[in-house]
Amino acid sequence: DLHRLIRRQRQMCIRDSLCPVLAVHYHQKYQRNEQHEYHQEKEYHLRPIPLDLSHFIISFREYEKYSRDFVALEHKLDALQTKPALTRDGVRITLLGNIEFPDEAQVVLEKGGEGIGLYRTEFLYLNRPNEPTEEEHYQAYAETVRVFRERPVVFRTVDLGADKYTQSRRWAPEPNPFLGLRSIRYCLKNLTMFKRQLRAILRASVLGQVKIMFPLITNIQELMQAKMILHDVMEDLDEESIRYNRDIEVGIMIETPSAALTASTLARDTDFFSIGTNDLTQYTLAVDRGNELVSTLYSAADPAVLRLIRMVTQDAHKAQIGLSVCGETASEPEYVMLLLGMGIRTLSLTPPMIPEIKQVIRSVTLEECHKLTRKVVGMNSERQISGYLRSAARKILPEAY
Protein backbone atom coordinates (compact mmCIF):
# COMPACT_ATOMS: atom_id res chain seq x y z
CA ASP A 1 0.00 0.00 0.00
CA LEU A 2 2.86 2.32 0.75
CA HIS A 3 4.23 1.73 -2.71
CA ARG A 4 0.87 2.61 -4.10
CA LEU A 5 0.77 5.86 -2.16
CA ILE A 6 4.24 6.91 -3.23
CA ARG A 7 3.50 6.05 -6.83
CA ARG A 8 0.27 8.02 -6.60
CA GLN A 9 2.20 10.99 -5.29
CA ARG A 10 4.48 10.80 -8.27
CA GLN A 11 1.57 10.38 -10.64
CA MET A 12 0.05 13.46 -9.15
CA CYS A 13 3.27 15.31 -9.97
CA ILE A 14 3.73 16.02 -6.30
CA ARG A 15 7.42 16.45 -5.72
CA ASP A 16 9.65 13.84 -4.15
CA SER A 17 10.15 15.88 -1.02
CA LEU A 18 6.51 15.82 -0.12
CA CYS A 19 5.71 13.37 2.66
CA PRO A 20 2.53 11.32 2.97
CA VAL A 21 1.22 13.69 5.61
CA LEU A 22 0.98 16.33 2.93
CA ALA A 23 -0.58 13.91 0.51
CA VAL A 24 -3.19 13.21 3.16
CA HIS A 25 -3.69 16.93 3.57
CA TYR A 26 -4.24 17.50 -0.14
CA HIS A 27 -6.43 14.51 -0.43
CA GLN A 28 -8.63 15.54 2.47
CA LYS A 29 -8.95 19.02 1.06
CA TYR A 30 -10.00 17.51 -2.17
CA GLN A 31 -12.50 15.28 -0.46
CA ARG A 32 -14.03 18.28 1.24
CA ASN A 33 -14.36 19.74 -2.21
CA GLU A 34 -12.62 22.96 -1.38
CA GLN A 35 -11.84 23.43 -4.98
CA HIS A 36 -11.33 27.13 -4.78
CA GLU A 37 -8.45 27.03 -2.30
CA TYR A 38 -7.30 23.79 -3.72
CA HIS A 39 -6.72 25.20 -7.16
CA GLN A 40 -4.87 28.15 -5.78
CA GLU A 41 -2.11 25.91 -4.51
CA LYS A 42 0.78 25.21 -6.80
CA GLU A 43 0.78 21.47 -6.24
CA TYR A 44 -2.75 20.79 -7.20
CA HIS A 45 -2.39 18.40 -10.06
CA LEU A 46 -4.30 15.90 -8.02
CA ARG A 47 -6.41 13.60 -10.08
CA PRO A 48 -9.26 12.22 -8.10
CA ILE A 49 -7.90 8.83 -7.21
CA PRO A 50 -9.56 7.21 -4.24
CA LEU A 51 -7.25 6.08 -1.50
CA ASP A 52 -8.06 4.85 1.93
CA LEU A 53 -5.40 6.89 3.65
CA SER A 54 -5.86 5.33 7.07
CA HIS A 55 -3.44 2.61 5.90
CA PHE A 56 -0.65 5.09 5.38
CA ILE A 57 0.41 6.03 8.83
CA ILE A 58 4.12 5.26 8.79
CA SER A 59 7.24 6.51 10.44
CA PHE A 60 9.17 9.26 8.78
CA ARG A 61 12.26 7.01 8.63
CA GLU A 62 10.28 4.36 6.82
CA TYR A 63 9.00 6.95 4.38
CA GLU A 64 12.50 8.28 3.82
CA LYS A 65 13.79 4.84 2.90
CA TYR A 66 11.00 4.25 0.39
CA SER A 67 11.41 7.71 -0.98
CA ARG A 68 15.20 7.23 -1.41
CA ASP A 69 14.64 3.93 -3.23
CA PHE A 70 12.16 5.55 -5.58
CA VAL A 71 14.41 8.49 -6.33
CA ALA A 72 17.27 6.06 -7.09
CA LEU A 73 14.99 4.12 -9.42
CA GLU A 74 13.86 7.32 -11.08
CA HIS A 75 17.48 8.38 -11.78
CA LYS A 76 18.22 4.98 -13.23
CA LEU A 77 15.17 5.09 -15.46
CA ASP A 78 15.84 8.62 -16.65
CA ALA A 79 18.73 7.13 -18.62
CA LEU A 80 16.07 5.59 -20.89
CA GLN A 81 14.98 9.02 -22.13
CA THR A 82 16.44 8.68 -25.61
CA LYS A 83 15.80 4.94 -25.98
CA PRO A 84 12.73 3.78 -27.91
CA ALA A 85 9.77 2.10 -26.24
CA LEU A 86 10.37 -1.22 -27.99
CA THR A 87 9.35 -4.61 -26.67
CA ARG A 88 12.07 -7.27 -26.60
CA ASP A 89 10.64 -8.70 -29.83
CA GLY A 90 10.74 -5.33 -31.56
CA VAL A 91 7.18 -3.97 -31.32
CA ARG A 92 7.16 -0.19 -31.15
CA ILE A 93 4.91 1.43 -28.56
CA THR A 94 4.19 5.16 -28.61
CA LEU A 95 4.39 6.93 -25.26
CA LEU A 96 2.73 10.31 -24.99
CA GLY A 97 2.14 12.61 -22.01
CA ASN A 98 -0.93 13.95 -20.22
CA ILE A 99 -0.64 17.63 -19.30
CA GLU A 100 -2.68 20.49 -17.92
CA PHE A 101 -0.39 23.48 -18.50
CA PRO A 102 1.99 24.48 -21.30
CA ASP A 103 5.05 24.38 -19.04
CA GLU A 104 4.55 20.66 -18.45
CA ALA A 105 5.27 19.98 -22.13
CA GLN A 106 8.97 20.30 -21.40
CA VAL A 107 8.72 17.67 -18.66
CA VAL A 108 7.11 15.26 -21.12
CA LEU A 109 10.04 15.77 -23.48
CA GLU A 110 12.61 15.37 -20.70
CA LYS A 111 11.00 12.12 -19.62
CA GLY A 112 11.10 10.79 -23.18
CA GLY A 113 7.49 11.39 -24.24
CA GLU A 114 6.82 11.66 -27.97
CA GLY A 115 3.95 14.10 -27.90
CA ILE A 116 0.85 14.99 -25.90
CA GLY A 117 -1.97 12.46 -25.88
CA LEU A 118 -4.17 14.43 -23.51
CA TYR A 119 -4.08 18.16 -22.91
CA ARG A 120 -6.64 18.83 -20.17
CA THR A 121 -7.58 22.32 -21.32
CA GLU A 122 -10.19 22.99 -18.63
CA PHE A 123 -7.44 24.04 -16.25
CA LEU A 124 -7.38 27.39 -18.05
CA TYR A 125 -10.87 28.02 -16.67
CA LEU A 126 -10.34 27.17 -13.03
CA ASN A 127 -9.20 29.54 -10.37
CA ARG A 128 -10.36 32.68 -12.16
CA PRO A 129 -13.59 34.64 -12.09
CA ASN A 130 -13.89 35.16 -15.85
CA GLU A 131 -13.54 32.98 -18.91
CA PRO A 132 -10.23 32.88 -20.77
CA THR A 133 -10.20 34.86 -24.00
CA GLU A 134 -9.55 33.28 -27.40
CA GLU A 135 -6.10 34.82 -27.32
CA GLU A 136 -5.32 33.29 -23.92
CA HIS A 137 -6.37 29.89 -25.22
CA TYR A 138 -4.32 30.37 -28.35
CA GLN A 139 -1.16 31.46 -26.53
CA ALA A 140 -1.31 28.47 -24.17
CA TYR A 141 -1.88 26.04 -27.04
CA ALA A 142 0.69 27.57 -29.36
CA GLU A 143 3.36 27.37 -26.65
CA THR A 144 2.83 23.62 -26.30
CA VAL A 145 2.58 22.91 -30.02
CA ARG A 146 5.84 24.76 -30.65
CA VAL A 147 7.61 22.50 -28.14
CA PHE A 148 6.50 19.40 -30.03
CA ARG A 149 6.64 20.78 -33.58
CA GLU A 150 5.73 17.84 -35.83
CA ARG A 151 4.82 15.50 -33.01
CA PRO A 152 1.16 15.09 -32.00
CA VAL A 153 -0.58 17.29 -29.47
CA VAL A 154 -4.14 16.24 -28.65
CA PHE A 155 -6.27 19.02 -27.21
CA ARG A 156 -9.22 17.74 -25.29
CA THR A 157 -11.99 20.31 -25.38
CA VAL A 158 -13.06 21.53 -21.96
CA ASP A 159 -14.08 18.88 -19.50
CA LEU A 160 -15.77 21.16 -17.00
CA GLY A 161 -18.44 20.09 -14.55
CA ALA A 162 -18.50 17.17 -12.11
CA ASP A 163 -15.34 17.69 -10.04
CA LYS A 164 -14.06 20.61 -12.13
CA TYR A 165 -16.41 23.52 -12.20
CA THR A 166 -15.77 27.17 -12.94
CA GLN A 167 -15.90 29.77 -10.21
CA SER A 168 -19.34 30.91 -11.31
CA ARG A 169 -20.81 27.41 -11.28
CA ARG A 170 -19.26 26.70 -7.92
CA TRP A 171 -22.22 28.29 -6.23
CA ALA A 172 -24.81 26.34 -8.13
CA PRO A 173 -23.86 22.71 -7.54
CA GLU A 174 -25.87 20.02 -9.27
CA PRO A 175 -27.39 17.25 -7.16
CA ASN A 176 -25.56 14.53 -9.09
CA PRO A 177 -22.79 16.32 -10.93
CA PHE A 178 -20.99 13.30 -12.42
CA LEU A 179 -24.23 12.43 -14.18
CA GLY A 180 -25.06 16.03 -14.89
CA LEU A 181 -24.13 18.88 -17.17
CA ARG A 182 -20.46 18.15 -17.57
CA SER A 183 -17.88 17.94 -20.27
CA ILE A 184 -19.12 17.86 -23.89
CA ARG A 185 -22.69 18.28 -22.61
CA TYR A 186 -21.72 21.55 -20.98
CA CYS A 187 -19.95 22.74 -24.14
CA LEU A 188 -22.92 21.91 -26.34
CA LYS A 189 -25.06 24.12 -24.12
CA ASN A 190 -22.50 26.94 -24.04
CA LEU A 191 -21.73 27.39 -27.69
CA THR A 192 -20.06 30.78 -27.46
CA MET A 193 -17.53 29.38 -25.02
CA PHE A 194 -17.10 26.16 -27.00
CA LYS A 195 -16.57 27.99 -30.28
CA ARG A 196 -14.04 30.32 -28.72
CA GLN A 197 -11.93 27.35 -27.68
CA LEU A 198 -12.32 25.59 -31.03
CA ARG A 199 -11.17 28.73 -32.85
CA ALA A 200 -8.04 28.85 -30.71
CA ILE A 201 -7.26 25.17 -31.26
CA LEU A 202 -7.79 25.51 -35.02
CA ARG A 203 -5.57 28.58 -35.16
CA ALA A 204 -2.84 26.63 -33.34
CA SER A 205 -3.28 23.73 -35.76
CA VAL A 206 -1.03 25.33 -38.39
CA LEU A 207 1.90 25.25 -35.98
CA GLY A 208 2.27 21.48 -35.72
CA GLN A 209 0.38 18.20 -35.56
CA VAL A 210 -2.66 19.31 -33.59
CA LYS A 211 -5.63 17.02 -32.94
CA ILE A 212 -8.98 17.68 -31.28
CA MET A 213 -10.65 15.32 -28.84
CA PHE A 214 -14.16 15.51 -27.40
CA PRO A 215 -14.62 14.16 -23.86
CA LEU A 216 -17.45 12.13 -22.36
CA ILE A 217 -19.26 11.33 -25.56
CA THR A 218 -22.25 9.15 -24.74
CA ASN A 219 -23.95 8.87 -28.13
CA ILE A 220 -23.55 9.51 -31.85
CA GLN A 221 -25.75 12.65 -31.82
CA GLU A 222 -23.37 14.39 -29.46
CA LEU A 223 -20.44 13.54 -31.68
CA MET A 224 -22.23 14.76 -34.81
CA GLN A 225 -23.32 17.96 -33.10
CA ALA A 226 -19.81 18.68 -31.82
CA LYS A 227 -18.40 18.07 -35.31
CA MET A 228 -21.01 20.33 -36.84
CA ILE A 229 -20.01 23.14 -34.52
CA LEU A 230 -16.38 22.54 -35.40
CA HIS A 231 -17.30 22.94 -39.08
CA ASP A 232 -19.19 26.15 -38.31
CA VAL A 233 -16.06 27.50 -36.66
CA MET A 234 -14.01 26.45 -39.69
CA GLU A 235 -16.37 28.39 -41.92
CA ASP A 236 -16.04 31.46 -39.71
CA LEU A 237 -12.26 31.23 -39.97
CA ASP A 238 -12.52 30.82 -43.76
CA GLU A 239 -14.57 34.00 -43.96
CA GLU A 240 -11.98 35.84 -41.95
CA SER A 241 -9.14 34.33 -44.00
CA ILE A 242 -7.57 32.82 -40.90
CA ARG A 243 -5.43 29.77 -41.58
CA TYR A 244 -5.99 26.39 -39.95
CA ASN A 245 -5.47 22.73 -40.78
CA ARG A 246 -8.59 21.68 -42.65
CA ASP A 247 -7.70 17.99 -42.23
CA ILE A 248 -7.27 18.17 -38.48
CA GLU A 249 -7.91 14.80 -36.85
CA VAL A 250 -10.95 14.70 -34.61
CA GLY A 251 -11.22 12.02 -31.95
CA ILE A 252 -13.28 11.17 -28.92
CA MET A 253 -12.68 9.86 -25.46
CA ILE A 254 -14.27 6.57 -24.58
CA GLU A 255 -15.26 7.18 -20.98
CA THR A 256 -18.80 5.90 -20.72
CA PRO A 257 -20.13 2.36 -21.07
CA SER A 258 -22.53 3.62 -23.75
CA ALA A 259 -19.64 4.88 -25.88
CA ALA A 260 -17.74 1.62 -25.37
CA LEU A 261 -20.77 -0.46 -26.30
CA THR A 262 -21.42 1.57 -29.46
CA ALA A 263 -17.76 2.02 -30.38
CA SER A 264 -18.24 0.39 -33.80
CA THR A 265 -20.83 3.07 -34.68
CA LEU A 266 -18.83 5.96 -33.24
CA ALA A 267 -15.70 4.77 -35.04
CA ARG A 268 -17.27 5.59 -38.42
CA ASP A 269 -17.31 9.29 -37.61
CA THR A 270 -14.10 9.75 -35.72
CA ASP A 271 -10.38 9.57 -36.47
CA PHE A 272 -9.33 8.12 -33.14
CA PHE A 273 -10.42 6.88 -29.75
CA SER A 274 -8.69 7.51 -26.48
CA ILE A 275 -9.89 5.31 -23.64
CA GLY A 276 -10.34 7.33 -20.46
CA THR A 277 -10.20 4.55 -17.91
CA ASN A 278 -10.71 6.90 -14.95
CA ASP A 279 -14.24 7.76 -15.96
CA LEU A 280 -14.90 4.48 -17.74
CA THR A 281 -14.20 2.63 -14.48
CA GLN A 282 -16.35 5.05 -12.51
CA TYR A 283 -19.34 4.80 -14.81
CA THR A 284 -19.10 1.08 -15.47
CA LEU A 285 -18.92 0.16 -11.81
CA ALA A 286 -21.18 2.97 -10.56
CA VAL A 287 -18.42 4.08 -8.17
CA ASP A 288 -17.65 7.75 -7.58
CA ARG A 289 -13.95 7.90 -8.39
CA GLY A 290 -13.30 10.40 -5.61
CA ASN A 291 -15.23 8.70 -2.82
CA GLU A 292 -13.08 6.83 -0.32
CA LEU A 293 -16.05 4.99 1.12
CA VAL A 294 -16.35 2.94 -2.06
CA SER A 295 -12.72 3.09 -3.18
CA THR A 296 -12.17 -0.65 -2.87
CA LEU A 297 -14.70 -1.14 -5.67
CA TYR A 298 -12.93 1.30 -7.96
CA SER A 299 -10.59 -0.74 -10.13
CA ALA A 300 -9.90 -0.94 -13.83
CA ALA A 301 -8.96 -4.58 -13.21
CA ASP A 302 -12.64 -5.37 -12.77
CA PRO A 303 -13.65 -7.89 -15.46
CA ALA A 304 -16.48 -5.59 -16.61
CA VAL A 305 -14.11 -2.69 -17.29
CA LEU A 306 -11.57 -4.93 -19.00
CA ARG A 307 -14.24 -6.41 -21.23
CA LEU A 308 -15.23 -2.92 -22.39
CA ILE A 309 -11.60 -1.95 -23.05
CA ARG A 310 -11.17 -5.09 -25.16
CA MET A 311 -14.32 -4.40 -27.12
CA VAL A 312 -13.27 -0.83 -27.87
CA THR A 313 -9.82 -2.02 -28.95
CA GLN A 314 -11.30 -4.58 -31.32
CA ASP A 315 -13.74 -2.07 -32.78
CA ALA A 316 -11.02 0.54 -33.28
CA HIS A 317 -8.84 -2.00 -35.06
CA LYS A 318 -11.70 -3.15 -37.26
CA ALA A 319 -12.45 0.43 -38.24
CA GLN A 320 -8.72 1.14 -38.65
CA ILE A 321 -8.79 4.27 -36.56
CA GLY A 322 -6.24 5.50 -34.02
CA LEU A 323 -6.42 4.21 -30.47
CA SER A 324 -4.76 5.08 -27.19
CA VAL A 325 -5.37 4.78 -23.48
CA CYS A 326 -5.02 8.02 -21.53
CA GLY A 327 -6.58 7.18 -18.15
CA GLU A 328 -4.36 6.51 -15.14
CA THR A 329 -4.39 2.80 -15.96
CA ALA A 330 -1.88 3.54 -18.73
CA SER A 331 0.49 4.95 -16.10
CA GLU A 332 0.29 1.87 -13.87
CA PRO A 333 3.14 -0.59 -14.55
CA GLU A 334 0.82 -3.46 -13.58
CA TYR A 335 -1.44 -2.83 -16.57
CA VAL A 336 1.14 -2.39 -19.31
CA MET A 337 1.42 -6.03 -20.38
CA LEU A 338 -2.34 -6.42 -20.36
CA LEU A 339 -2.95 -3.33 -22.48
CA LEU A 340 -0.28 -4.41 -24.96
CA GLY A 341 -1.70 -7.91 -25.02
CA MET A 342 -5.14 -6.49 -25.83
CA GLY A 343 -3.65 -4.72 -28.84
CA ILE A 344 -3.05 -1.19 -27.57
CA ARG A 345 0.07 0.44 -29.01
CA THR A 346 -0.22 4.03 -27.77
CA LEU A 347 -0.28 5.05 -24.13
CA SER A 348 -0.66 8.58 -22.81
CA LEU A 349 0.83 8.89 -19.37
CA THR A 350 1.29 11.17 -16.48
CA PRO A 351 4.78 12.52 -17.33
CA PRO A 352 6.77 11.24 -14.31
CA MET A 353 5.72 7.67 -15.11
CA ILE A 354 7.00 7.61 -18.71
CA PRO A 355 10.43 6.08 -17.89
CA GLU A 356 9.02 3.37 -15.65
CA ILE A 357 6.42 2.33 -18.20
CA LYS A 358 9.08 2.35 -20.91
CA GLN A 359 11.23 0.07 -18.79
CA VAL A 360 8.38 -2.43 -18.48
CA ILE A 361 7.82 -2.34 -22.25
CA ARG A 362 11.51 -2.91 -22.94
CA SER A 363 11.54 -5.91 -20.60
CA VAL A 364 8.74 -7.95 -22.18
CA THR A 365 7.85 -9.64 -25.46
CA LEU A 366 4.49 -9.29 -27.13
CA GLU A 367 4.08 -13.04 -26.89
CA GLU A 368 4.38 -12.79 -23.08
CA CYS A 369 1.78 -10.00 -23.11
CA HIS A 370 -0.62 -12.11 -25.16
CA LYS A 371 -0.17 -15.03 -22.81
CA LEU A 372 -0.88 -12.85 -19.78
CA THR A 373 -3.94 -11.36 -21.48
CA ARG A 374 -5.34 -14.80 -22.31
CA LYS A 375 -4.98 -15.77 -18.66
CA VAL A 376 -6.63 -12.59 -17.41
CA VAL A 377 -9.55 -12.93 -19.82
CA GLY A 378 -10.31 -16.28 -18.21
CA MET A 379 -10.43 -14.83 -14.69
CA ASN A 380 -13.66 -13.84 -12.98
CA SER A 381 -12.78 -11.54 -10.14
CA GLU A 382 -11.04 -8.20 -9.77
CA ARG A 383 -9.05 -9.51 -6.83
CA GLN A 384 -7.69 -12.42 -8.82
CA ILE A 385 -6.84 -10.21 -11.80
CA SER A 386 -5.17 -7.41 -9.88
CA GLY A 387 -3.15 -9.90 -7.81
CA TYR A 388 -2.00 -11.64 -10.96
CA LEU A 389 -1.10 -8.37 -12.73
CA ARG A 390 0.83 -7.15 -9.71
CA SER A 391 2.86 -10.31 -9.36
CA ALA A 392 3.69 -10.28 -13.10
CA ALA A 393 4.83 -6.65 -12.88
CA ARG A 394 6.85 -7.35 -9.75
CA LYS A 395 8.86 -9.94 -11.65
CA ILE A 396 9.65 -7.44 -14.38
CA LEU A 397 10.41 -4.39 -12.27
CA PRO A 398 11.21 -5.63 -8.76
CA GLU A 399 12.78 -2.30 -7.76
CA ALA A 400 9.41 -0.59 -8.05
CA TYR A 401 7.70 -2.93 -5.56
Which residues of the shown chain bind Mg ion in the complex (CB under 5 A)?
Answer: 255, 276, 279
Candidate residues 114, 222, 279, 334; the one interacting with ligand PEP per rule CB under 6 A: 279
What distances in angstroms separate CA 388 from CA 18, 301, 373, 378, one per listed residue?
Answer: 31, 10, 11, 12
* SS3 at position 394: helix
Partner in contact with 326, chosen from Mg ion, ligand PEP, none, beta carbon below 5 to 8 Å by kind: ligand PEP
Sign of CA dihedral 372, 369, 51, 74: positive
User: DSSP label at 164?
Assistant: B
Candidate residues 47, 182, 196, 310; the one interacting with ligand PEP per rule CB under 6 A: 47
Compute the distance between CA of residue 268 and CA of residue 316 in angstroms, rounded to an integer: 10
Cβ proximity to ligand PEP, 277 vs 346, nearer residue: 277
Give the residue from 358, 362, 396, 400 showing the smallest Cα distance to 81.
358
Kindly state whether residue 346 participates in binding ligand PEP, applying the rule CB under 6 A: no
Cβ proximity to ligand PEP, 87 vs 278, nearer residue: 278
From the CB of 183, what's the least distance to Mg ion, in Å? 7
Kindly state whether residue 255 participates in binding ligand PEP, applying the rule CB under 6 A: yes
Compute the distance between CA of residue 98 and CA of residue 180 in angstroms, rounded to an integer: 25
Cβ proximity to ligand PEP, 87 vs 350, nearer residue: 350
Binding mask 104-133 for ligand PEP (x = CB under 6 A): --------------x-x-------------
Candidate residues 208, 276, 333, 351; the one interacting with ligand PEP per rule CB under 6 A: 276
From the CB of 166, what's the least distance to ligand PEP, in Å? 16
Instruction: Please report, as residue ranges, which positions from 311 to 340 form the binding site for ligand PEP (by CB under 6 A).
Output: 326-327
**Residue 32 phi, psi dihedral angles, 5° rounding:** -80, 0
Compute the distance between CA of residue 184 and CA of residue 54 in angstroms, rounded to an integer: 36
Contact 360, 396 (CB under 8 A): yes
- In one-letter notation, the amino acid at residue 85 is A
Residues of this chain that bind ligand PEP (CB under 6 A): 47, 118, 120, 159, 255, 276-279, 326-327
